Structure 1
Amino acid sequence: MTGPATEVTFAVLDVFPEQYAVTPTLTARVGIAAIGDEPIHAIALRCQVRIDPLRRPYSDAEADGLTDLFGTRERWVGTQHTFLWQHTTAMVQGFSGATQVGLPLACTYDFEVSSAKYLHALRDGTVPLQFLFSGTAFVQGPRGFSVQQIPWDREDRYDMPVAVWREVIAAHFPNSGWLRLDCDTVDALAAYRRTHGLLSQDEAILSLLARAGQDAR
């Protein structure tokens, strides 16, 4: 049964780290308001979270870290565009008037992923996020339930402090990061480490970097 449209709006109130999650996870606390007399029975909520790099300035150090994504600063007018961070979902329980829900935001430290490169390059300030909401609302009326699609124009912006992302990454990867290497590269690095009596992969990479620096001179 399809009924008249119900006005549902969304606002991102906060983003914070989940302290006890197994993997690095943030939670976006979203306020939801429904205008009308009929209560909302449930909402199957979907959200596309995007990063809008044009909404903030960047220091020279940050600009250097963003070269892989956007090129040098003079090219940014043509290369900086909003890009996808992730998709997330939540099931909203029944309510009348207003409620809140937590949207899980999975974080990765894989530098092959554009969002991880971008977030890692930021030193301070905020991360300019754009939340695009969609989904299905189940409305309880006098004649039963109606099923209504959330309009595609429901969105909100939120400037998340960079410190929030750094906090969740530091909790799961203290003073470390991840690099994805081909199996052959891993084997070659392990062989180099054994041959030179090095105790860790870090020492092997530092040794190779030092040799590369000497060759460059």
Structure 2
Amino acid sequence: MVDLDFAIEDVKVEKHSAAPLLLFALRVVNKTPELPVLNVMLNCQIRIEPTRRRYDGDEHDRLSDLFGEPSRWGETLRSLLWTHAGMATPAFGAACKVDLPVPCSYDFNIAATKYFHGLERGDVPLNFLFSGSIFYRDGEGRLQISQIAWTKDCAYRLPVSVWRDMMEHYYPHSLWLCLQRDAFEQLYRYRRRRGLPTFESALQELLDASAASAP
């Protein structure tokens, strides 16, 4: 039976995608090279491990929306599911290196986006959990199929700077905010009545009015 190991060696931003996309350089090592691999239908669950890094400065405040007050982080900091990814590898003998594509969202209703945005520097501790099917030929040339062992995983620390560079490339000088339809219609109506040129100016006017009325 084929035995595979996995390691993430690097990451880069795909600059020519229709939506934000990271490409993780994945190295797949065949620990049984006498059984050449024809193809791997690979699935990957990617999790964020918040307890594997320190938090400084404004990060405590920026992450309070996600984890609550820092005094409670001993209870609230838990592993978070970020996303799932999948791909098919080419045939290989001892090892191969492929790009694992991971689509990224900038929706601030999603916990992972809040976490990435809340970090000022450093990196994001990730854990990649692998599963899927391995197609290979045995010693007599017969086609065989086996499953990737459920214990196969690897850790990688994604630089926060890579995430920020990606979002700046796809959303230059802006952030992406999703509103419920009724809230959007109210804001749109306010903007039209006030004759304001952009939604940003409508929000800024409302925020200034709220600040001025605050005790």
TM-score (norm 2): 0.96
Question: Is the counterpart of residue 55 in structure 1 residue 42 in structure 2?
Answer: no
Match of 1:162 in 2: 160
Aligned to 1:97: 94
| Cα distance between partner residues in 2 of 1:187 and 1:100 | 49
Q: Which residue of 1 aligns with 2:128?
A: 131
The alpha-carbon deviation at position 194 of structure 1 amounts to 2.1
Aligned to 1:35: 31
CA distance in 2, matches of 1:182, 1:165: 26
Q: Does 1:184 align with 2:151?
A: no
Q: Following the alignment from structure 1 to structure 2, what is the Cα–Cα distance between the partners of residues 27 and 168?
A: 11
Pair 1:116-2:113 in alignment: yes
Alpha-carbon distance in structure 2 between the residues aligned to 1:40 and 1:194? 62
What pairs up with 1:183-202 in 2 under 5 angstroms? 183-202=181-200
Q: CA deviation at 1:131?
A: 0.4
The secondary structure found in structure 2 opposite 1:184 is helix
| CA distance in 2 between partners of 1:99 and 1:152 (Å) | 20
Deviation at 1:195, TM superposition (A): 2.0
**When the two structures are superposed, what TM-score results if normalisation uses the length of structure 1?**
0.95
Q: CA RMSD in A?
A: 1.0
In 1: Cα distance, 2:214 partner to 2:57 partner: 25
Question: Which aligned runs of 4 or more in structure 1 are off by greater than 4 angstroms?
Answer: none
Say how many residue pairs are matched. Answer: 213
**In the TM superposition, what is the alpha-carbon distance from 1:85 to its structure 2 partner?**
0.5
What whole-Å deviation, never above 9, does each CA across 1:116-152 have from its counterpart, x for those lacking one?
Answer: 0000111110011100011110111224111110001
CA distance in 2, matches of 1:138, 1:118: 37
Letter in 1 for 2:29: A
Equivalence for 2:4: 8
The corresponding residue for 1:20 is 16
Percent of aligned pairs sharing the same letter: 37
CA distance in 2, matches of 1:175, 1:203: 15
- Separation in 1, partners of 2:24, 2:189: 45
| Aligned residue in 1 for 2:150 | 152
Structure 1 residue runs of 5 or longer lacking an equivalent are none
